[in-house]
Every structure is written in C-alpha cells, then in structure tokens.
Structure 1
Amino acid sequence: MFTRIVKMEFQEEKIPQFLENFETVKHKIRNFKGCLFLELYRDKRDPTIFFTYSKWEEENALENYRNSELFKGVWATTKPMFRSKAAAWSVDTLFSGI
C-alpha cells in the first residue's frame, strides 16, 4: 500500500466548479479497483490550494486509474481550472499512528 498526494492550485473563480465536480466524482474514484481511501484538503492560508490524499493497494492500481476513462474525464475537467501546474508525490508510510 502507498499514498498519493496531489497539490493543485486553482483560479479563484473556478473553485466552486472544481468542488462541484469533485463531489460528483469522488465516489467513483473511491470505488475504483485498488483505491482504499480518498480525501480532499484545502490549505489553511491560501484557499486556492487543494490537496488530494489517496491510498492505493499497489502502484499498478494507481496506474490503472490514471489510464482509465474515469481519470481522463476528471483530468480533462479539472486541469483547465488550474492557475499553475499540479504537483504529485507517491509516498510510503514510515510511521503510522497518533
């Protein structure tokens, strides 16, 4: 299992449209084979910055999602709303717990 973190910076006027679309597709992403978890976060200081935080069974599962029609549709809708290029990281958990 690993975690994928994606940072996205949006044009301010596009944020309501992004949030509406995310609400529509989040269940489809969460139910995609191999996706174990998905949350959306918003930066506390800059309300135009968002992060998706997702957990995947294995790298193949994420790659299958990234090559799917679902991802292509989500990305085609979301990408034009960015004010700068998105950044993404795939990370392994080294320590877990509170």
Structure 2
Amino acid sequence: MFIRIVKMSFHEEHIPKFLENFNLIKEKIRNAPGNRFLELYQDKNNPELFFTYSFWETEEDLENYRRSALFDEVWTFTKQLFNDKPEAWSVNKLVSLT
C-alpha cells in the first residue's frame, strides 16, 4: 500500500465550485478499485490551498484510476479552477502510530 498526496491551489472564487464537485464525486473516487482511504484537507493559513490524501493498494490501481473516465471527468473540471500548478507525491508509509 502507498499514499498519494496531491497539492492544489484554487482561485478563491472557485473554491465553492471545487468543494461542491468534490462532494459529488468523493464516494466514486473512494470506491475506485484499489482505493482504501480518501481525505481532503484545507490549509489553515492559506484557504486557497488544498490537499488530497489517499491510500492505494498498488501503483497499478492508482494508474488505472488515472486512466479512467472518472478521473478524466474530475480532472477536466478541477484543473480549470487552479491558480497554480498542482503537485503530487507518491509515498510509502514507513511508520504509523495511532
């Protein structure tokens, strides 16, 4: 299992549109094959900055999602709202304390 972190920055006036769309599609993303966890964060100091945090069983599962019609729909809509280039990281979890 690995974690995908995506950093996105939006024009302030587009944040409500982004959140509305995310609420419509979050369950579909979460139920994509291989997805085990999905969260959305908003920066405390910069409300235009958001992060998604998701767990994937395999890199192939993430790539299959990224090649899916769902991802195309989500990304086509979302990228119109950005005020900066998004960034993404795929990381392995080394330690987790609960």
1:25-44 alignment, distance < 5 Å:
25-44=25-44
After superposition, give the CA deviation of every residue in 1:17-52 in whole Å (9 maximum; x if it has no partner). 000000000000000000000000000100000000
1:12-91 alignment, distance < 5 Å:
12-91=12-91
Alignment: residue pair count: 98
For residue 7 of structure 1, give the secondary structure of its aligned residue in structure 2. strand
Q: Which amino acid aligns with 1:70?
A: L
**1:93 and 2:84 aligned:** no
CA RMSD of aligned residues (A): 0.4
In the TM superposition, residue 90 of structure 1 has moved relative to its aligned partner by: 0.1
In the TM superposition, residue 4 of structure 1 has moved relative to its aligned partner by: 0.1
After TM superposition, which residue ranges in structure 1, 4 or more long, deviate above 3 angstroms? none
In the TM superposition, residue 70 of structure 1 has moved relative to its aligned partner by: 0.1
In 2: Cα distance, 1:37 partner to 1:87 partner: 19
In the TM superposition, residue 81 of structure 1 has moved relative to its aligned partner by: 0.1
After superposition, give the CA deviation of every residue in 1:38-68 in whole Å (9 maximum; x if it has no partner). 0000001000000000000000000000000
| TM-score normalized by the length of structure 2 | 0.99
| TM-score normalized by the length of structure 1 | 0.99
Q: In the alignment, which residue of structure 1 is the partner of 2:4?
A: 4
Structure 1 runs not aligned, ≥5 long: none
- Paired-residue identity, %: 60
